[in-house]
Amino acid sequence: MGQRQRESERAARRRKAARVLPASAAAALVLWAVLGGVGLVLGLVLVVGTTWLLYRPTGPSSWAKGASGERRTAQLMRSLERDGWVALHDRAIPGSSANLDHLLVSPTGEVVYVDTKAWTSTRSTLRLQDGQLWYGRYPQTRALDTVAWEARQASRVLGVPVAAYVAVHGAAVPGGQLHLQGVTVLGAKVLVRSLRNRAPVPGAVGVIPQQLARRAEQLLPPAS
């Protein structure tokens, strides 16, 4: 997720700059033509100020918050690792720019993909409306579709079923846990308990966990 967020934020800034900077440059030329030297100075101030506003640091970006959330999720998974689970973090999907936040292989050979969402705004809440999950004013249908797609890609690479989870930091999940679009959404604090209580996944029986974990390490390399 971290890589996707970084690319999305950079692309958004480039699009905004492509709209705003030419307009401020044109305004600077008009000031120069009308006011002469004074206008040139004012125009330069306008362009520099606009550039600074576009690229100034604005506190932790969404991808930085996401990275922090991923670290907290990884810490929660340490108790699973002590119980024999194998946890792989920030793994690349071959043939794609997407990455898997966390991939878990259980002692019985089940594979679970966990995507971290740092939905921590105090002004926005999660809610279920018309069969869709919303965070503040924004539906999360596309985000959940992406998580389900990533789980399918991991399943294709590994040749076994992969369950899809979203671990939410910050916002409360309606009802404590939801299952939408093939994805289980729940609060990060209850993730470990939920995974321990999972029913066995059909098709995972007979898989040797150690071999599956090694296959995942080889076929899903580190994203960074």
User: Does residue 44 sit in the same domain as residue 100?
Assistant: no
For residue 37, the enclosing domain spans 2-55
User: Does residue 86 sit in the same domain as residue 38?
Assistant: no
- With bands split at pLDDT 50, 70 and 90, how would you rate the model's confidence at 175? confident
Predicted model pTM = 0.70
Residue 224 within a domain? no
Tell me the C-alpha distance between 190 and 178, whole Å: 12
User: Does residue 132 sit in the same domain as residue 162?
Assistant: yes
Q: Is 80 helix (H, G, I), strand (E, B) or coil?
A: helix
Tell me the C-alpha distance between 141 and 180, whole Å: 9
Tally the domains of the chain: 2
Tell me the C-alpha distance between 17 and 133, whole Å: 32
Specify which of 38-47, 140-149, 169-178, 208-217 reaches the highest per-range mean pLDDT.
140-149
User: Does residue 51 sit in the same domain as residue 90?
Assistant: no
Q: What is the pLDDT of residues 113-123, one digit of tens each?
A: 999 998 875 55
The secondary structure of residue 114, as a DSSP letter, is E
φ, ψ (nearest 5 deg) of residue 145? -60, -40
- The three-state (H, E, C) secondary structure of 102-126, written as one string: EEEECCCCCEEEEEEEEECCCCCCE
Q: Is 132 helix (H, G, I), strand (E, B) or coil?
A: strand
Tell me the C-alpha distance between 204 and 200, whole Å: 8
